Amino acid sequence: MEKRTVRDVDVAGRRVLVRVDFNVPLDPRGRVADDRRIRESLPTLRDLLERGAAVVVMSHLGRPGGRVVEALRMAPVGERLAQLLGRPVHVLRDCVGPEVEAVVARLQPGEVALLENLRFHPGEEANDPEFARALARLGDLYVNDAFGTAHRAHASTVGVAAHLPAVAGLLMEKEIRYLSRLLEGPDHPFVAILGGKKVSDKIGVLRNLLTRVDAVLVGGGMAYTFLRAQGYGVGRSVVEEDKLDLARDLLDLARQRGVEFVLPEDVVAAERPTPDAPRRTVLAAEIPDGWMGLDIGPRTARRFAEVIEGARLVVWNGPMGVFEVEPFAAGTRAVAEAVARCPGTTVVGGGDTAAAVEQLGLLDRFDHVSTGGGASLEFLEGKELPGIRVLQDR
Per residue in 236-268, pLDDT tens? Answer: 999 999 999 999 999 999 999 999 999 999 999
Distance CA 5, CA 47 (A): 11
Distance CA 245, CA 236 (A): 19
Does residue 1 carry a pLDDT above 80? Answer: no
pLDDT of residue 263: 98
The predicted model gives 19-40 an average pLDDT of: 94
pLDDT of residue 356: 86
pLDDT of residue 354: 87
46-99: pLDDT as tens digits: 999 999 999 999 999 999 999 999 999 999 999 999 999 999 999 999 999 999
State the DSSP code for 318: S
The predicted model gives 127-144 an average pLDDT of: 98
Band (pLDDT 50/70/90 cuts) for residue 199 is: confident
The bridge status of strand 141-144 relative to strand 112-114 is unpaired
Band (pLDDT 50/70/90 cuts) for residue 113 is: very high
The predicted model gives 213-217 an average pLDDT of: 98
Kindly provide the residue ranges of all beta strands, DSSP E only, lying in 219-265, ordered along the sequence: 260-262
Band (pLDDT 50/70/90 cuts) for residue 37 is: very high
Of residues 138, 103, 97, the one with CA closest to residue 121: 97
Does residue 351 carry a pLDDT above 80? Answer: no
Distance CA 265, CA 16 (A): 54
pLDDT of residue 4: 97
pLDDT of residue 359: 84
Catalytic position from the list 133, 137, 198, 303: 198
Does residue 355 carry a pLDDT above 90? Answer: no
Band (pLDDT 50/70/90 cuts) for residue 140 is: very high
Give this prediction's pTM: 0.92
- Going 353 to 359 to 363 to 366, the CA torsion angle's sign is negative
Q: Judge whether 351 counts as a catalytic residue.
A: yes
Does residue 112 carry a pLDDT above 90? Answer: yes
Mean pLDDT of the chain: 95
Q: Judge whether 37 counts as a catalytic residue.
A: yes
Does residue 358 carry a pLDDT above 90? Answer: no
Q: Which residues contact 259 (CB under 8 A, 6 or more apart)?
A: 210, 213, 214, 215, 216
Q: What is the 3-state secondary structure (H, E, C) of 94-134?
A: CCCCHHHHHHHHCCCCCCEEECCCHHHCHHHHCCCHHHHHH
Catalytic position from the list 14, 37, 119, 243: 37
All domains in the chain, ordered by first residue = 6-171 (3.40.50.1260), 178-380 (3.40.50.1260)
Q: 52-67 burial string, b = 16+ CB within 10 Å, else e?
A: ebbbbbbbbbeebeee
Catalytic position from the list 351, 372, 373, 387: 351
362-381: pLDDT as tens digits: 888 999 999 888 899 999 99
Question: What is the torsion angle, in degrees rounded to the nearest 10, for the CA atoms of residue 182, residue 317, residue 368 and residue 167?
Answer: 70
The bridge status of strand 260-262 relative to strand 279-283 is unpaired
